[in-house]
Amino acid sequence: MATIEEALEIERLERDIFRGASTETQLPRTFGGQVAAQALVSAVRTVEPEYQVHSLHGYFLRPGNPLEPTVYLVDRIREGRSFCTRRVTGVQNGEAIFTMSASFHIGDEGPEHQDEMPTVPPPDNLPDAATSMSPERLWAMREWEHWDIRTVPQEEVDRREGLAAQQQVWFRYRHPLPNDPLFHVCTLAYMSDMTLLGSSKVPHLDEPTQNASLDHAMWFLRPFHADDWLLYDQQSPSAGFGRALTAGRIWNQRGELVAIVVQEGLIRTFRDTKTESFPPGTN
Residues designated catalytic: 193, 213, 263
Residues listed for the chain: 283
CA pair distance 247, 232, nearest whole angstrom:
10
Helical pair 32-44 and 181-192, crossing angle rounded to 10 deg: 150
Contacts of 247 (CB under 8 A, 6+ apart): 234, 235, 236, 237, 260, 261, 262, 263
Q: In sequence order, what are the residues at sequence separation of 6 or more whose Cβ sits closer than 8 angstroms to the Cβ of residue 56?
A: 36, 40, 100, 101, 102, 103, 189, 216, 217, 218
CA distance 241 to 244: 8
What is the rounded distance in angstroms from the CA atom of residue 146 to the CA atom of residue 24? 13
Phi, psi angle pair for 251, to nearest 5°: -120, 150
